[in-house]
Structure 1
Amino acid sequence: MDVISEAIGSVRAGRANGRRINESGAWGVRFPGFEGIGFHIVLRGQGWLVAEATEPVALRTGDIVVAPNGAEHGLCHAPARLRDLPAVTTTAEPCDPPQADFAFLCGAYRLDRGQIHPFLRTMPNIIVVSPDYDDHPELRSLVGLLEDDVAEARPGNRVTRSALVDLMLVHVLRQWQGTADWAAVTDPAIAAALRAIHGRPQHRWTVPELAKVAGMSRTAFSSRFTALAGKPPITYLTHWRLAYGARLLRQTKDPLATIARQVGYSTEFAFAGAFRREYGVAPGRYRDRPDPIPRQPRAAPHRQRPLAKP
């Protein structure tokens, strides 16, 4: 099972955002928590990553900070308390000056509610990856493309932004050393059930059917699935269907009835009712809503060593 593809696919229900930020002198900025996944790429200079209940982490040019589940964090010129940093401004601003002591790119997928893939939830709230760009020249090229994409508004930005954020997240998650540690994927029986759910969300899955796919008894399967995936099988199935439906609402113009069938609901009314209970808004309004609803989780950073050359 390709857990990275599944995880990135789950956040595509949100909207991809990106921007460049330049700072000079004594500076600091706080990124409030949100539902989704985000990252920062240090383009120039040295700074510090700060988060609650953890020591500050030094950053240098080329480092990539990732918040896999949208945890609150801050960046600043020197170690500081997170609560003392001003919140980042997300409204339209004049272009930042081209030269600065510290420059970084931001990218994120923001979701309306808690539909983060379980793999992303099991990752540390904040990680820092220090890639070897000589060994991975494609990553250097990707950073350049993203920097160019956020430089100005152009026709097609919505498509290019999503593609570039996708690629950046895939590269970073590949390089993070803990990528293969999601227990639900490394367990062959549960991985088989997850492949069945993800591959055929429209099927009327039952626990006995999924247990059969996993080659286990119903009781043993339910217990192990819940322990490893974090939700009972049918709860996980429902969340996956609705997350997939949310993605189709944002990425396609398909009628509601068509989307309902694709994600396993017999009628658009059944899908709309379930969607409203999960997302707090009707599917049609969700499709048109531009801005997600933020939240405020806590963060604890995890640092990966730079990749060694072979």
Structure 2
Amino acid sequence: MDLMSEVIRMVRVGSVGSRVIRHSDPRGLRFTAFAGSGFHIMLRGTCWLITEDRPPVPLRPGDIVLTSSGAQHGFARTRRALADLPPSAMGPIPPAPGPCDFEFLCGAYRLEHGYAPQYLRALPDLIAVSPDYDRYPEMRALVAILEAEVGRARPGSGATLRSLLDLILVLVLRQWHEQHGSAPGTDDPAIAAALRQIHEHPQHQWTVGRLSDVAGLPRTAFSRRFTALVGQPPMSYLISWRLGCGARLLREIDASLATIAREVGYSTEFSFSNAFRREYGVAPGHFRRAAFAMPMAEVSATAE
């Protein structure tokens, strides 16, 4: 299984949006925390990325900031404390006309229920990447196309927007992993073996004992190492992965709840529904209906 592709499909269960922000207020601006993932691409000018607990990071044109799991953050032309930055208005607001200190392009996947997949939550909250545009010329082209598409209501714009955000997110994750290593747990052969089985066969009746056998480790040692590397105990990760797959299937296929429950490892529709409600806060049927109730105009309105 291509783990990154599966994660992209999971975040797609939410709504997507994009907008351009031109900023000239010396106070800067702050984005509040949200459920989901997103990115900012610096188009023009320079500024500082401001976070709660890390030193400010200088940004220049071409840099990309990945908000892996919706953490609060901000931007300012000078070093400032995050709490001092005024909140940014949300929604499809046209960029301000005239000169500005800096300009950036936002893309976001907003999850109305639940949260970003563990794969993304295990990454640093805010990741600043300076893409190698000579090595990845397609990134430059994607950014130009996304900037041209934003704010234009044209036939096919909904599908185009999703595809562009997907491609940019994949390229940013690829470059970050090239510089900082593989996804959490995948560098350890024993834990990688267990993760591979969970990802490829979520419907199996896994237990900690069975997964430790796959890893070739004693049960206690396996649990301890898995939790340290992945950020969750094995069974918690398994449940999150199963329900993430279930959420994706609810949005992608017109199958019964009982069928989807079996596909992701639950013996009955009732047990799947209870677990799903605990994880996402709504019943599976409501989650599925909400996807078809949102028109594309509303989808584009959810961007930062």
TM-score by length of 2: 0.85
Kept in 1: contact 2:15–2:110 (CA 8 A): yes
Query: Which residue of the partner structure matches residue 23 of structure 2?
Result: 23
CA–CA distance in 2 between the matches of 1:56 and 1:95?
A: 25
Number of aligned positions between the proteins:
292
Query: Which residue of the partner structure matches residue 11 of structure 2?
Result: 11
Distance 1:16 1:117, change over 3 A: same
1:220 aligns with 2:221: yes
Kept in 1: contact 2:69–2:115 (CA 8 A): no
CA–CA distance in 2 between the matches of 1:145 and 1:213?
A: 45
Q: What secondary structure, in the 3-state scheme, does the structure 2 residue paired with 1:38 have?
A: strand
Paired amino acid for 1:143: V
Query: Which residue of the partner structure matches residue 161 of structure 1?
Result: 161
- Between stretches 191-200 and 263-272, larger displacement belongs to 263-272
Q: What secondary structure, in the 3-state scheme, does the structure 2 residue paired with 1:61 have?
A: coil
Per-residue CA deviation, residues 15-53 of structure 1 (Å, 9 max, x unaligned), is 222111122353622111122221100111112211123
CA–CA distance in 2 between the matches of 1:154 and 1:188?
A: 48
Distance 1:83 1:270, change over 3 A: same
CA–CA distance in 2 between the matches of 1:12 and 1:185?
A: 23
Query: Which residue of the partner structure matches residue 206 of structure 2?
Result: 205
Paired amino acid for 1:266: S
Distance 1:213 1:256, change over 3 A: same
Q: What secondary structure, in the 3-state scheme, does the structure 1 residue paired with 2:74 have?
A: strand
CA–CA distance in 1 between the matches of 2:141 and 2:169?
A: 14
The Cα of 1:3 is off from its aligned counterpart by: 4.7
Query: Which residue of the partner structure matches residue 256 of structure 1?
Result: 257
Q: What secondary structure, in the 3-state scheme, does the structure 1 residue paired with 2:242 have?
A: helix
Query: Which residue of the partner structure matches residue 304 of structure 1?
Result: none
- Between stretches 147-156 and 103-112, larger displacement belongs to 147-156
The Cα of 1:178 is off from its aligned counterpart by: 4.7
Kept in 2: contact 1:50–1:56 (CA 8 A): yes
Query: Which residue of the partner structure matches residue 86 of structure 2?
Result: 86
Q: What secondary structure, in the 3-state scheme, does the structure 1 residue paired with 2:158 have?
A: helix
CA–CA distance in 1 between the matches of 2:227 and 2:192?
A: 13
Query: Which residue of the partner structure matches residue 230 of structure 2?
Result: 229
The Cα of 1:244 is off from its aligned counterpart by: 1.1
Kept in 1: contact 2:28–2:75 (CA 8 A): yes
1:39 aligns with 2:39: yes
- Between stretches 245-254 and 196-205, larger displacement belongs to 245-254
CA–CA distance in 2 between the matches of 1:104 and 1:40?
A: 6
Distance 1:190 1:25, change over 3 A: closer
Kept in 2: contact 1:15–1:110 (CA 8 A): yes
Q: Percent identity?
A: 54
Q: How do 1:1-310 and structure 2 match up within 5 A?
A: 2-24=2-24, 26=26, 28-94=28-94, 96-97=96-97, 100-112=100-112, 115-176=115-176, 177-287=178-288, 288=290
Paired amino acid for 2:215: A
Distance 1:230 1:53, change over 3 A: closer
Distance 1:207 1:248, change over 3 A: same
Per-residue CA deviation, residues 212-265 of structure 1 (Å, 9 max, x unaligned), is 222233333233223322222222111111111112223344332332222122
Kept in 2: contact 1:10–1:243 (CA 8 A): yes
CA–CA distance in 2 between the matches of 1:183 and 1:13?
A: 23
Higher relative contact order (CA 8 A, sep 6+): 1
Per-residue CA deviation, residues 72-102 of structure 1 (Å, 9 max, x unaligned), is 1111233222222222212343454376442
Kept in 2: contact 1:13–1:248 (CA 8 A): no
Distance 1:171 1:112, change over 3 A: same
